[in-house]
Copies of this chain bind each other. A is one copy, B any other.
């Protein structure tokens, strides 16, 4: 019935709005206007209204948006009303950190399966979860119906691991390996290249310091 294609950027902003609504709720505010919301992060109020309108008519003309019901609606839309089981592959520094990262648990993401290829790590328990061999990915993921995966392995092994995850039924992946991955269109991949982020920062500094830099 309604509009069909939601832009990626809208979905990203929805989770920013959500963060803001949580804060306002804590402060005891009952309602908020698109302008107030937009001012919090230098966005345009029309954009806020348009983003929200993608998912329904949540606002009240002349008043704004009631915070609690809006928060519930957005959480429902983002699928945050349920807990998600997540498979983590790679228990190096980054993987171990993600395992204990509080932010995930708070938001209902539970890393309930962990895989590594290092025999020394297999069968160890981390945060109450037993580490398994990457060879077990397909059957375990399939059995437990896990749909979400995190790749914290080195670039060289990432594609093979992704293939296994996908074969097991995973359709959404957070990838920290700095490499280009291939998967069916039905699989959503979010890439986070930490080094690349630092590189854009180093560009910024280099640009700022460059003596003959043309001021923009």
Contacts and interface: CB of A to CB of B under 8 A. Distances in A.
Given A171-B208, A196-B16, A201 B214 contact: no
A140 interface: no
A120 interface: no
Chain A interface category by residue count: 35 or more
A49 interface: no
Interface stretch (A62-70, A157-165, A187-195): A187-195
- Classify the interface of chain A: helix, strand, loop or mixed: helix
B205 A171 contact: yes
Interface of A: 1, 4-5, 8, 11-12, 14-16, 18-20, 40-41, 77-80, 84, 86, 93-94, 96-98, 100-104, 106-107, 109, 147-148, 171-174, 178-180, 186, 188, 190, 192-208, 214, 216
Given A94-B97, A192-B194, 12 more contacts: A5-B216, A8-B200, A16-B180, A40-B180, A78-B202, A93-B101, A107-B195, A148-B201, A148-B202, A173-B201, A174-B198, A190-B201
